[in-house]
């Protein structure tokens, strides 16, 4: 009897651990601010962004950079919204989808999901992220035609981009096109939520692929 109680207790404890782990990796970590890396250097609004070697010479349009991580649930949830922005603003902005160099092995899979006119860039050595001060995904970066930083931050207050009055990135795009000063949306726009740029495939994602 005692062995059965111990066995049941161990089973119950392991079940709770697994449930707690899945809840953490799929929900809780995405509603808490992303940890700032120790070597992070903040890039401020109106700082010059030295990306001419990556993006090419300015064609007179502002630039929109979308950071995408195929292993980040938030990034995946956000992707359809990003595509809607491309459809709406492709004539006014140079639209770029940025992925990490380490994700180039799944480049074909990512390309298959793209159904809009956007340029896909592999961030070799993390140069783009460093220059723009991005350490989490999903994040939006807007550059003026002279490649100065206009906006860097979240798309929305929620990861599902369902609160229209907090569509920060979209409102910043409209503001830039109207030649207004860079908007200050406050804490919820500027504080990075979601996944670290270094996030790799989770153990539970590997299991899902197997089964």
Q: What is the pLDDT of residues 131-145, one digit of tens each?
A: 999 998 888 999 999
In a domain, 151, yes or no: yes
| Residue 161's CATH number | 3.40.30.10
Q: Is residue 99, in this structure, part of any structural domain at all?
A: yes
Q: Which one, of 13, 74, 129, lies nearest residue 82 by Cα?
A: 74
Task: Quote the CA–CA distance of 169 and 78 in Å, as a whole number.
Answer: 12
Domain count along the chain? 1
pLDDT tens profile 3-51: 555 554 554 445 544 444 444 444 444 457 788 888 889 999 999 999 9
37 lies in some domain: yes
**Does residue 128 fall inside a structural domain?**
yes
Q: Is residue 4 part of a domain?
A: no
Do residues 133 and 67 lie in contact, with contact meaning Cβ atoms separated by under 8 Å? no
| Res. 208 pLDDT band, cuts 50 70 90 | very low
Is residue 6 one of the residues assigned to a domain?
Answer: no
* Whole-number percent of the chain with pLDDT over 70: 75
What gap in Å lies between CA 63 and CA 136, rounded to an integer? 19
Q: Is residue 35 part of a domain?
A: yes
Residue 204 forms part of a structural domain:
yes
pLDDT per residue as tens digits for the range 90-112: 999 999 999 888 888 888 888 88
What gap in Å lies between CA 183 and CA 176, rounded to an integer? 9
Give the residue numbers spanning the domain of 159. 31-210
Would you put residue 133 in left (φ > 0), alpha (ψ -120 to 50) or beta? left
The two tokens of residue 173 are 């795009």
């Amino acid at each position: 009897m005692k062995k059965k109680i111990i066995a049941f207790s161990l089973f119950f404890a392991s079940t709770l651990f697994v449930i707690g782990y899945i809840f953490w990796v799929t929900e809780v970590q995405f509603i808490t601010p992303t940890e700032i890396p120790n070597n992070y250097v903040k890039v401020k609004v109106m700082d010059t962004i030295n990306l001419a070697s990556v993006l090419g010479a300015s064609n007179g349009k502002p630039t929109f950079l979308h950071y995408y991580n195929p292993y980040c649930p938030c990034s995946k949830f956000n992707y359809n919204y990003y595509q809607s922005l491309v459809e709406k603003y492709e004539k006014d902005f140079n639209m770029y989808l940025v992925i990490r160099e380490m994700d180039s092995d799944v480049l074909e899979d990512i390309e298959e999901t793209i159904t809009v006119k956007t340029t896909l860039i592999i961030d070799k050595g993390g140069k783009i992220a460093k220059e723009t001060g991005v350490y989490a995904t999903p994040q939006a970066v807007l550059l003026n035609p002279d490649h100065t930083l206009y906006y860097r931050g979240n798309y929305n207050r929620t990861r599902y981009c369902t609160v229209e009055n907090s569509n920060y990135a979209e409102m910043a795009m409209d503001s830039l096109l109207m030649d207004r000063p860079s908007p200050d949306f406050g804490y919820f726009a500027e504080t990075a939520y979601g996944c670290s740029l270094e996030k790799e495939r989770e153990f539970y994602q590997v299991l899902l692929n197997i089964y």
